[in-house]
Structure 1
Amino acid sequence: MEHFSTARLSAERLSESHLADLVALHLDAEVSRYLGGVRSADVTKTYLDVNMAHWDQHGFGLWALRTKDGAFAGRAGLRHILLDDVDEVEIAYAFKRGAWGLGFASEIATAMTEIGLSHLQVPSLIGLVFAENVASRRVLEKSDYLLERSMVRHGHDAVIYRIRR
């Protein structure tokens, strides 16, 4: 599923053509504060390469998101992560500041949850969120994810939400 659409967003498989948009997204300190911090262009290029390889290995991954008028809105996706030595599939999303507060995160979370549980048939999805990221926690709760536990991840207090098929 390299492309899909929601009511207000179109999603396309992440590719080299998205590098400039991702660099701009990751250089924004407000956007990146819950993503582990600002990422340089070189770090974002490595991030892009890793996520394109994820697509090649697993047949799914991150999508670039555009509004219906074609403007880059952010990125979102499903990806394997190793969490406490367990292979999990995580739902992830990040939007440009101009796209905040418009309901795009909830819209894309609902679509990706459906893709993960129904189309890909994964048994469960997790959302791994900095504990203080109230907005992202609310998105997961509205998408019927349940708070599973708290943890420390990369030196930050985090919470794990889960939804099962």
Structure 2
Amino acid sequence: MEHFRTARLSAERLRENHLADLVALHLDAEVSRYLGGVRSAEKTKTYLDANMAHWDQHGFGLWVLRTKDGAFAGRAGIRHILVDDVDEIEIAYAFKREFWGRGLASETATALTDIGLLHHELPSLIGLVYVGNGASRRVLEKSNYLLERTTFRHGENGVLYRIRR
């Protein structure tokens, strides 16, 4: 599933030509504060390469999100991640600041959950959020993810939410 649509967004599989949009997104300190911090262009290139390889290995990964008029809105996806030495599959999303507060994260989380649980028939998905990220916590709760436990990630206290098929 290289493409999908929501009511207001289109998503396309992450590709090399998305680097400039990702660099701009990752250089925004407000956007990146809950993503492990600002990433340089070089680190974003490494991130892009790793996430394209994830697609090749698992058949799913990150998508670039665009508005109906084609503007870059952010990125989102489903990916394997190690949490406390356990291989989990998380949904992840990040939007440019101009798109915050419009319900796009909830719309995207619902789509990602359906793709993971129904299309890929994964047994469960997680959402991993820093404790202080109230907006993302609400998105997961509205998407029927249940708070499972606390964890520690990138030097910060976090919480792990889960939904099961």
Normalised-by-shorter TM-score class: over 0.9
In structure 1, what is the equivalent of residue 85 of structure 2? Answer: 85
Name the aligned partner's letter for residue 17 of structure 1: N
Partner of 1:139: 139
- How far does the alpha carbon of each residue in 1:38-91 deviate from its partner, in whole angstroms, 9 at most, with x for none? 100000000000000000000000000000010000000000011122211000
Match in the other structure for 1:159: 159
RMSD: 0.5
* Aligned equivalent of 1:42: 42
Deviation at 1:110, TM superposition (A): 0.2
Q: How does 1:47-58 map to 2 (within 5 A)?
A: 47-58=47-58
Q: What corresponds to 1:72 in structure 2?
A: 72
CA drift of 1:154 comes to 2.3
> For 1:118 and 1:138, how far apart are their aligned partners in 2?
22
Q: Distance in 2 between matches of 1:50 and 1:4?
A: 21
1:148 corresponds in structure 2 to 148
Q: Which runs of 4+ in 1 moved over 2 A?
A: none
C-alpha distance in 2 between matches for 1:153 and 1:145:
19
Structure 1's unaligned 5+ residue stretches are none
Structure 2: gaps (5+ residues): none
- How far 1:100 sits from its partner (Å)? 0.3
Percent of paired sites with the same residue: 80
Aligned residue pairs total: 165
Q: Distance in 1 between matches of 2:71 and 2:54?
A: 25
SS class of match (1:91)? strand
Aligned to 1:26: 26
**TM-score, normalising length from structure 2?**
0.99
Distance in 2 between residues matched to 1:19 and 1:98, nearest whole Å: 19
Partner of 1:102: 102
